[in-house]
Amino acid sequence: MTVAKHVAARDCFRVIAPRPAARLTLFCFPHAGGAASSFHQLATLLPPDIELVAVQYPGRQDRYGEPMPRTLAELVDEITGAMLERLDRPAAFFGHSMGATVAFETARRLRSRRPNALRRLFASARRAPHHDNSKALTFPDDASVLRYVDSLGGAGAQLLADAELRELAMPILRGDFRLIADYRYAPGAPLTCPITAIAGDIDASFTVDHATEWARHTVAGCEVRAVQGGHFYTETAPGALARLITEKLAAEVSA
């Protein structure tokens, strides 16, 4: 590995609220257009034995100016390579929207190299990998992107009303949506960790019925949970999400 690649790999993660005595690491993968800072509230609400480590994708916030990945596989390879150095304790993944797909593919990459590292995957507000989203996330122009983002709600949609912020954010949004639109699930062995699929109870884009589709991607069981709120319930109900995660990981941190 070259020095340049080593530095880039270390730059993938942000520890928002350090927990040096934690017994488990929760790696969190942001939504399209999102960044590590979107998990600030969640990080502060988790108990001391769970340390949240947020993934920072290239091209945003303190990685602004770095080239956007050309494919989702390229992004996943970067994250996986960097993560191998951080698996010094049990881990779980939480992926929101696009992040659920990135988390799932990262889990698949890790399986052959660290088969027992991952204890649970939380798949939030995102259709299961075998579902084809290419048409839904292919946009002819920026106006179409804005309408789609606005339909999902959340703080990001409000920020896009500002022309300067919109100019900065649009290349990131379009790049992320391209990654997902071009993504094609390749059949393979299911995960060996359990999956908890989470839906906002008023999110029309991802319902509890959609969430059940994740069951085919694990041999360890899939549970579906609903949290009050829409697509970005992560912003409006972080306490409920923190309690759910803490509940599902209780056995892991007490072992």
Catalytic (active-site) positions: 97
Token pair of 223 as six digits: 């549970």
Q: How many CB atoms lie within 10 A of CB 246?
A: 16
Q: At what angle do helices 72-83 and 3-10 cross, to 10 degrees?
A: 90
Query: What is the DSSP secondary-structure string of 144-205?
Result: HHHHHHHHH-SHHHHHTTSHHHHHHHHHHHHHHHHHHHH------PPBSS-EEEEEETT-TT
| Of 117, 96, 105, the residue nearest 29 (C-alpha) | 96
Q: Which residues contact 138 (CB under 8 A, 6 or more apart)?
A: 177, 181
SS3 92: strand
Cα–Cα distance list, 41 to 36, 206, 231, 236, 237 (Å): 11, 23, 17, 10, 10
